[in-house]
Amino acid sequence: MMAHMSKSNGSKQLVRSLDARMVAGVCSGIAACYDIDVNLVRLAFVVASFFGFIGVLAYLAAWVILPEEGASASIAEDMFNKTRNG
C-alpha cells in the first residue's frame, strides 16, 4: 500500500488507494499518505459517524473530491469538466 508519489519533489499526494480498500479507498489512501495504520483511520470515521453523522458525510465528500490512485482527476473534477465543456 503506497501513496502516490509526486515525481517533482518526492512528496506524497492524497489519493484514494486501490490497495487495501474496503469501499472506495478513502481510509487506505489517507493512511498511506500520512503513514498511519489504516484501521485507525477507519475507526476515526466510525467514531465520527456517531456524532451527527459527520463521519459518513466526510467519507462521501472525500470519495468525490479525492482522485483515485493513477487517475488524473477526481469524480468532482470529471463532473465539473463535463458540465463546463458539455
Q: What is the pLDDT of residues 18-30, one digit of tens each?
A: 888 889 999 999 9
Q: How far apart are CA 57 and CA 26, in angstroms?
A: 12
Q: Residue 86's pLDDT is what?
A: 63
**In this predicted model, what pLDDT tens digit does every residue of 30-83 receive, in sequence order?**
999 999 999 999 999 999 999 888 999 999 999 999 999 988 888 888 888 888
Q: Residue 10's pLDDT is what?
A: 66
Task: Place 12 in a pLDDT band, splitting at 50, 70 and 90.
Answer: confident
Exposure of 23 by Cβ count < 10 A (0-12 exposed, 13-18 middle, 19+ buried)? exposed
| pLDDT tops 60 at residue 7 | no
Q: Residue 20's pLDDT is what?
A: 83
Q: Residue 1's pLDDT is what?
A: 39
Residue 70's contacts (CB-CB under 8 Å, 6 or more residues apart) are: 4, 18
Domain, as residue range, for 55: 4-85
Q: What's the number of domains the chain is made of?
A: 1
